[in-house]
Structure 1
Amino acid sequence: MQRFALSLAASLLLTLPAAAQMPPSPAEVAQPRVPASRAEIGLSFAPIVAKTAPAIVNVYAMRTVQARRGPSLLEDPFFRRFFGAPNGPGFGGPSERIQRALGSGVIVDASGLVVTNNHVIEGADEVRVSLSDKREFDADILLRDPRTDLAVLKLRDGKTRFPAAQLGSSDDLQVGDIVLAIGNPFGVGQTVTQGIVSALARTQVGITDYQFFIQTDAAINPGNSGGALVDGAGRVVGINTAIFSRSGGSQGIGFAIPADMVRVVLESALTGGKSVRRPWLGASLQSVTADIAEGLDLPRPVGSLVQSIRPGSPAEKSGLKVGDLITSIAGQETDDPDAFGYRFATRPIGGAVEVSVIRQGKPLTLTIPLLTAPETTPREEVTVSTRSPFGGATVVNLSPAVAEELRTVEADSGVVVTAVAEGSPADATNLRVGDVIREVNGMPITRTADLVRATSTPARVWRITLQRGGRTLTAMLPG
């Protein structure tokens, strides 16, 4: 799901004298207030919906999967002959079937750029988009970003100018602001629900790598994923992405990805990139617990403690040190590493950003350059096809860029798993994306070519060492 912010415009009468054309005082600026009359209670959100709804679309994703037929009497040769069933190697084996996923999306550019959730189109062979006026278009996937659960599509029509929604700024939102959620819940058709912003900067949700969500009580249900969270000015302030529910339906707790993160992903798609360009910090951060706060003589547990710093990284160049407590970035407070990660990731590449830290009880300001992580070693991607515990795994050489993408910041070198084919030997071995392979049968693995050599000859027993989540694991597996 997704979101955008709002702003109000003020106009001055041209007939007023020049001396009267002064900016309004704070007291004169309209402030949020409750309805003061029956007439105000009867006001409608219809103009906002009429402005935004044409840009909200339905996204249909289709993919072909292999489905194996279950056992039956017709697998017996006698019954096949008796019933005239087909003979051959394909009978009773795998068959193809089509899986369909339904979600929502938002047209954010008149050329036909659509933002939706990555989980809506994940693994899709074909994507179609249906507009509110019933027109349908095939769509290409320009960019997928699993880390934010966002994807950018392009409608295949170079002539049509499509209705587009305006992106707002999620930083303009306040708790209590009225918002609308527009999407296609349960596939019943375009639906609008209304609620308020229940919370901002909601972290510890466990949905994406960047834990920083807008929480709303506007009813959000399956199928709303990828739809718009709209503010009182008709601007998209978020992309609806998930609900908290024990029943599968809305229970008044929905989450939307902030529009400022959506804008970062969209800009990367517009530049033709296949991945999102984000600033690289080169440091690992830790949340501040109550015990740590007491030890640091802090009034409350807030901020991000620097655990480690990669040599040559922007963090090191800024003068950041292990043990520093980061409290804000660009003047915005960051309560925990998730909040800092979001604020840092949404900064534009190039230039620098100031962060406030506390070092040994003293406040200071550091300037961190906003650079992308370098790919110091070519990826040399390989999908292992040999008969080994790694069969079906796709691996690449590790570099700062790859480590940043896969969140394996603790590893400096080696070979990292980027994909595991379902049902493959690697899947049976429980190999995971992000695992760093260190050693196979006593042979150090520093490049993907090393892994190919180490697994080229079958073995009766495989002794493998890998790094996962900061821990080194060693296992003995049968050949």
Structure 2
Amino acid sequence: MKILLLVLFSLCLGAKSISFNHATQNPTRVYPNSSESILSYSKYISQTKNSIVNISTKSKVKQTNNKANPFADPFFEQFFGKDYKKLIPKNRVKRSLGSGVILSSDGYIVTNAHVVQDAQEIEVSIADKEKKYQAKIVGIDIDSDLAVVKIDKSGLQAIKIGSSKHLEVGDVVFAIGNPFGVGQTVTKGIISALNKNHIGINKYENFIQTDASINPGNSGGALIDSRGVLIGINSAIVSRAGGNNGIGFAIPVTMVKDITAKLIKYGKVTRGYLGVSIKNITKELQSLYKRENGAIIINIAKNSSAEKYGLKRGDLVYRVGDKQIKDASNFSTVVGSYKPDDTIVLHIERDKNNKQISVVLGKKEADIIIAKQDKLFDGVTFKYNSNLNQVEITKVQPNTKGYDIGLRVGDIVVQVEKIEIFTIKDLKRVLNRYKGKKKRIYIKRNNQIYMVVSK
């Protein structure tokens, strides 16, 4: 098993800005009221379909597994000599399909980061039309699983942008994309839940859950309301077999707007860094605090903003500015929405007394990625936290081996078999040592140690 350390570089096309095509933010809802009428959404869906694109990518994958190559058998060496291996292709071409949404008439398109992040070549076709356009990456944000690409084409139909603030469970929604590469497809459902986190897919999670059928190839496509207005970007499903089970997740459009605007302007998303480890309030801790909601600080990084401005272990953060904090995941998302050098006001409870602390955020370091070719941690993104000297999991793709064995976003890898893990090099070394063997992997989650097993 060979692990490749990759650093993700985004192609910035220059500092730009974008003007979104906004729809009415709080529309009036209409309900069926006549037996003589048919409830149809075809008018609004047809207006939206030309804003949805199919995306196909090509990437070169280095051949590292001899078992997967039939010509690696010693049988061939007997007949063709030792030099015959030079004729065996060392790389193979990997092809993937996804979807995207046109944000502007001049060719900016949003999709999922996992659709394009490893691509050497990206082709875009609009609404099942045969003409294909070469696309360039403008920027990728792994933590939110969003990316922006651009094609050289003007006069495109930009989708109308809605708002996540006025969504309600039970609203009718449609997922539009290119499932299994069969072409543009529309499926219908409702909003099943809002503000879903702790899914273990992305670092920053605030998903819209829907039962609209989402399948492989839908990633990066649109989730629209009954007016044909964008309310989310389809991102992931929960499935044991890889198909739709009625549990799909979309990134809310408010987050999409924020992330894509930064990617278009700067080519990347740089988040403010506070430097704390946090956890939720548990039943055991509830008696120690007046409040039931918030995020408890359990560790503070050295030389971080949190240390500089006087935050302490045990502080309960219940508000940031005017935003109420529900739990640890919500706190991470809120802090991550600010930039380095932004000043935020933290409302904390310390020893059952309220306190306000103004903090100037620092800069968050870039993630280090272990490539998907790693069979043990297939679909998992790791980051070395130099302040805490630990290896953290920042992303887990669903329906991969890493997800199936129980790894989740936020886990800290502390030990593999008898070897403690402090750096990415430690992890690489121990995985090579136990290559092909069953391994016990110890992780720290919510201040508790868990063990998962993988071969």
- Residue among 379, 387, 391 paired with 1:411: 387
Matching residue of 2:210: 216
Please, which moves more after superposition, 306-315 or 120-129? 306-315
Q: 1:101 Cα deviation (Å)?
A: 0.5
Q: 1:278 Cα deviation (Å)?
A: 1.2
- Residue among 310, 322, 326 paired with 2:313: 322
Q: Which has the larger radius of gyration?
A: 1
Matching residue of 2:148: 152
Q: 1:216 Cα deviation (Å)?
A: 1.0
Correspondence 1:104 to 2:99: yes
Is the CA contact (8 Å cut-off) linking 2:58 and 2:94 kept in structure 1? yes
- Residue among 118, 121, 136 paired with 2:116: 121
The CA distance in 2 between the partners of 1:317 and 1:229, in whole Å, is: 42
Matching residue of 1:8: 24
The CA distance in 2 between the partners of 1:174 and 1:196, in whole Å, is: 10
The CA distance in 2 between the partners of 1:96 and 1:341, in whole Å, is: 39
The CA distance in 1 between the partners of 2:319 and 2:185, in whole Å, is: 39
Change (3 A) 1:337 1:291: same
5 Å matches for 1:60-71?
60-67=56-63, 68=66, 69-70=69-70, 71=72
> Unaligned regions of 5+ residues in structure 2, if any?
1-19, 369-373, 375-380, 395-410, 415-421, 430-441, 448-455
Matching residue of 2:138: 142
Is the CA contact (8 Å cut-off) linking 1:309 and 1:316 kept in structure 2? yes
Q: Which has the higher contact order (CA 8 A, sep 6+)?
A: 2
5 Å matches for 1:22-421?
32=29, 34-38=31-35, 42-67=38-63, 68=66, 69-70=69-70, 71=72, 75-78=76-79, 80=80, 88-90=83-85, 93-132=88-127, 133-155=129-151, 157=152, 160-273=154-267, 275-296=268-289, 298=291, 300=292, 302-316=293-307, 318-347=309-338, 351-373=342-364, 408-409=384-385, 411=387
Change (3 A) 1:100 1:30: closer
- What secondary structure does 1:208 align onto? coil
Change (3 A) 1:185 1:373: closer
Q: 1:316 Cα deviation (Å)?
A: 4.2
Q: 1:272 Cα deviation (Å)?
A: 3.7
Is the CA contact (8 Å cut-off) linking 1:108 and 1:164 kept in structure 2? yes
Q: 1:370 Cα deviation (Å)?
A: 4.8
The CA distance in 2 between the partners of 1:209 and 1:72, in whole Å, is: 42
Change (3 A) 1:258 1:414: closer
The CA distance in 2 between the partners of 1:30 and 1:128, in whole Å, is: 36
State the number of aligned residues: 374
The CA distance in 1 between the partners of 2:103 and 2:355, in whole Å, is: 40
- Per-residue CA deviation, residues 356-379 of structure 1 (Å, 9 max, x unaligned), is 32222123444333553489xxx9
- When normalised by structure 2's length, the TM-score is 0.70
- What secondary structure does 1:263 align onto? helix
Letter in structure 1 aligned against 2:259: V
Q: 1:243 Cα deviation (Å)?
A: 0.7
Change (3 A) 1:120 1:144: same
Aligned sequence identity (%): 36
Change (3 A) 1:344 1:92: same
- What secondary structure does 2:103 align onto? strand
Is the CA contact (8 Å cut-off) linking 2:23 and 2:160 kept in structure 1? no
Is the CA contact (8 Å cut-off) linking 2:176 and 2:223 kept in structure 1? yes
- When normalised by structure 1's length, the TM-score is 0.67
Is the CA contact (8 Å cut-off) linking 2:385 and 2:391 kept in structure 1? no
Letter in structure 2 aligned against 1:352: T
Letter in structure 2 aligned against 1:199: A
The CA distance in 2 between the partners of 1:65 and 1:101, in whole Å, is: 12
Matching residue of 2:9: none
- Per-residue CA deviation, residues 403-436 of structure 1 (Å, 9 max, x unaligned), is xx96544735799999xxxxxxxxxxxxxx9989
Is the CA contact (8 Å cut-off) linking 2:179 and 2:218 kept in structure 1? yes
The CA distance in 2 between the partners of 1:161 and 1:5, in whole Å, is: 14
Matching residue of 1:474: none
Please, which moves more after superposition, 60-69 or 133-142? 60-69
Change (3 A) 1:252 1:408: same
Matching residue of 2:419: none
- Per-residue CA deviation, residues 168-189 of structure 1 (Å, 9 max, x unaligned), is 3323322222222111111111
Q: 1:58 Cα deviation (Å)?
A: 0.8
The CA distance in 2 between the partners of 1:172 and 1:355, in whole Å, is: 26
Q: 1:192 Cα deviation (Å)?
A: 1.1
- What secondary structure does 1:262 align onto? helix
The CA distance in 2 between the partners of 1:434 and 1:137, in whole Å, is: 42
The CA distance in 2 between the partners of 1:118 and 1:374, in whole Å, is: 18
The CA distance in 2 between the partners of 1:348 and 1:216, in whole Å, is: 31
